[in-house]
Amino acid sequence: MNITPRIRLAAESAIDTLMREIKGVKAVVISTEDGLELAARVENTAQVARLSAIASSLAALGAVAGEESQLGLCDNVAIEATHGHILMLQARHPEMTLIVSVVTSRDAIIGQVLYFAKQATQLLQHA
Amino acid sequence: MTGANTVPKGQRALLSYSVEGLQHREEVLLKSLIRLLDHRTHQNWSWKAEQADLRVVGAQIAIAAASPQPAVPTLTVAHADPQRGPFLALPLHTDALEVALNRLGAMVVHARGLGLAVTEVPMGEHEEFRMLRWPPAAVLEAPIRLRLATLMTNRPASVLSLQQRSPATRQECADFLADLQRAGLLERAASPGVLVTASAPDSVFPDSRFPAPTRDAVQLGLLARIRNRLGLQPPGPQ
Amino acid sequence: MTVEHKILFTGTMGAGKTTAIAGVSEIPPVSTDVRNSDTSVAKATTTVGLDYGELTLDNGEKLRLYGTPGQMRFDFMWRILGRGALGVVILVDNSRPDPLADLDIYLDGFAELIAQTACVVAVGRMEQHPSPGLDAYARRMEAKGVVCPVLPANVTDPQQVVQLLELLLLQLEV
């Protein structure tokens, strides 16, 4: 992987912010669009071993769904599960597209998660 | 100068040769040349430690002992001809080697046809065998053999069951299994059990006593439809 | 609801899964290619979801052709896509440093599917890269208890892809 230091720093900074600001956050993973992990912070390591790859597949399928429905580019994919949520957002930096995945417990407030996650994504895109 | 092999894409006979009493350097050269000549010889030749179709020997061996099996030809490779039968002079020349191999190969094939060749274990047409490994290219020269080998990948087969499931003739199926056997790629499937169709050898029932590996039954007609869509011929006897 | 049938194509990045499907599919294939960030492989894009093509049979049913991502980190996709498949075509690129090790990955990753259905191994770029030879592949598969057709194939030629499918179907005949 050829990731410039600037992007790498921005990714770490984004993770710091999200882990700090989001109530109920369990993990934040930033990965390449082809499924390789770039940076991550987690409460339980085993949890996110494959999240990067899964996120990349979901993002790609989300893109297909968006195109097929003629809705344009897919910005994020949201999963609601019994014990929590996963939000996967596209961060389209000119050098490369990254995927930001945020895993939260059930008591997280979706609106808040979305707000901070989008903000972090914006910053990443302009790194 | 002999021309390239112009036999149409049928299956060449698969013959083996052993080497005894040659200097190491000569043996290595001989084996390389035979490999190189494979695209020109009328039969396919592969080296075997013993019980081969053709014995290649040095002068000492030729003089000392006659071939243990009369139907197995012996080719002497030496500097001087000991007058004990087929002979090739050293240093080896590819043209002379090619001619010798073709001539002796024809003899072996003829002997096989008469049932005189080495290790011919007769094979019953209901006898079921398992193919141990995908065969080497030499065994699959004739296009029909690709199909026959594929049919054997998922379950045991006999001469008869191969014939029923493919456009191949009974002889083609028998020859194929015989070649697999010679190449050490066949193993007898477990005891065939009672032959239900003993009284009707050309029965329409599939001749395999062994169930295919567990798989959900493929929908009736599906494979035919897929074949049709891809423009392929149906698989059975034409 | 239309009844569905599917065949998988798998193999390493650049082995030709997308190409193979494109040659046979009656619709332009759907693909989920993204930029490849793996600098060890000289390929611009890689499949992260699936490739998709289809053929319509004469009774209206569809035969769906799925290409899987090649890298091991996407093996969850192998499982998902493999469910209910008729069989799998494994495409190997003989120009890679260790194609037999590549083959192992897919023999392991699709072991259950292979045992229960059908499999064909197609080796690409053999003319320029003759080694390992087909017999080496056959022996490698034998070591894993797999006996299935292995042959050279150039998947840019649709007729050769059809031949691979034919060999798959032959294994499914009762």
Chain A residues with beta carbon closer than 8 angstroms to that of C39: 1-2
Find the Cα–Cα–Cα–Cα dihedral C141, C143, C146, C150, rounded to 10°. Answer: 20
How many interchain CB pairs under 8 A, A with C? 60
Q: How confident is the model at residue B120 (pLDDT cuts 50, 70, 90)?
A: low
Average pLDDT taken over every residue of chain A = 91
Place of tokens 């034409």: B238
What pLDDT shows up at residue B206?
A: 43
B101: phi then psi, degrees, rounded to nearest 5: -65, -45
Helix (H, G, I), strand (E, B) or coil at B114: coil
pLDDT of B131 above 90? yes
CA–CA gap between residue C161 and residue B231 (Å, rounded): 12
Structure tokens at C34: 């993204």
Which has the closest alpha carbon to A90: A55, A126, A51?
A: A55
Q: How confident is the model at residue A44 (pLDDT cuts 50, 70, 90)?
A: low
- CA–chain centroid gap for B209, Å, is 26
pLDDT of B113 above 50? yes
Smallest Cβ distance to C74: which of A2, A35, A97?
A35
**How many angstroms separate the CA of residue A49 from the nearest CA in chain C?**
9
pLDDT of B2 above 60? no
Mean local confidence (pLDDT), B82-94? 91
Mean local confidence (pLDDT), B9-25? 91
B202: phi then psi, degrees, rounded to nearest 5: -100, 35
CA–CA gap between residue A72 and residue A89 (Å, rounded): 15
Place of tokens 């495409």: C91
Q: Is B135 in Cβ contact with C174 (below 8 Å)? A: no
Helices (H) and strands (E) in chain C, counts: 6, 7
Q: Which residues pair with B89 in a beta bridge?
A: B78
Mean local confidence (pLDDT), A50-71? 90
Helices (H) and strands (E) in chain B, counts: 7, 7
CA–CA gap between residue B230 and residue C54 (Å, rounded): 12
Q: Name the residue with higher pLDDT: B202 or B17.
A: B17
pLDDT of B230 above 50? yes
Which has the closest alpha carbon to B91: B72, B78, B109?
A: B78
User: B47: phi > 0 → left, psi -120 to 50 → alpha, else beta; which?
Assistant: beta
Q: Is A60 in Cβ contact with C32 (below 8 Å)? A: yes
Helix (H, G, I), strand (E, B) or coil at A119: helix
Task: Fill in the amino acid letter for B220.
Answer: L
Mean local confidence (pLDDT), C74-93? 94
**Residues B47, B30: contact at Cβ < 8 Å?**
no
Q: Is the ipTM of this complex over 0.85?
A: yes
Helix (H, G, I), strand (E, B) or coil at B166: coil
What pLDDT shows up at residue C39?
A: 84
The string of pLDDT tens digits covering residues B158-185 is: 999 999 999 999 999 999 999 999 888 9
The string of pLDDT tens digits covering residues B202-222 is: 434 444 333 444 444 566 688
Average pLDDT taken over every residue of chain C = 92
**Residues B75, B56: contact at Cβ < 8 Å?**
yes
**Residues C12, C93: contact at Cβ < 8 Å?**
yes
Structure tokens at B199: 């009284």
pLDDT of A110 above 60? yes
Query: Is the link from the previous residue into B234 a cis peptide, with omega within 30 of 0?
Result: no
- Paired sense of beta strands A76-81 and B44-47, if any: unpaired
Picking from C5, C57, C61 by the largest number of B CB atoms within 10 A of its own CB, the best residue to mutate is C57
Lowest mean pLDDT among A44-48, A109-113, C142-146: A44-48
pTM of the model: 0.82
**Residues B74, B16: contact at Cβ < 8 Å?**
no
Smallest Cβ distance to C139: which of B133, B150, B219?
B133
- Alpha carbon separation from B220 to A54, B216, B225 (Å, rounded): 37, 12, 10
**Residues A14, A123: contact at Cβ < 8 Å?**
yes
**Residues C57, C43: contact at Cβ < 8 Å?**
no
Binning chain C into helix, strand and coil, the percentages to the nearest 5 are 35, 30, 35
Task: Fill in the amino acid letter for A124.
Answer: L
Which has the closest alpha carbon to C138: B213, B130, B131?
A: B131
The answer to whether C49 contacts chain A (CB < 8 Å) is yes
Q: Is A97 in Cβ contact with C73 (below 8 Å)? A: no
What pLDDT shows up at residue B232?
A: 85
Place of tokens 């087969």: B157
Residues of B with CB under 8 A from a CB of C: 131-137, 146-147, 149-154, 165, 206, 212-215, 217-219, 222-223, 225-232, 235
pLDDT of A113 above 60? yes
Q: How confident is the model at residue B84 (pLDDT cuts 50, 70, 90)?
A: confident
Angle between helices C75-82 and A51-68 (to 10 degrees): 50
Mean local confidence (pLDDT), C49-57? 91
- CA–chain centroid gap for B107, Å, is 16
pLDDT of B80 above 60? yes
User: Positive or negative CA dihedral for C71, C74, C80, C81?
Assistant: negative
Secondary structure letter of residue B6 according to DSSP: -
Q: Name the residue with higher pLDDT: B201 or A5.
A: A5
Q: Name the residue with higher pLDDT: A21 or B116.
A: A21
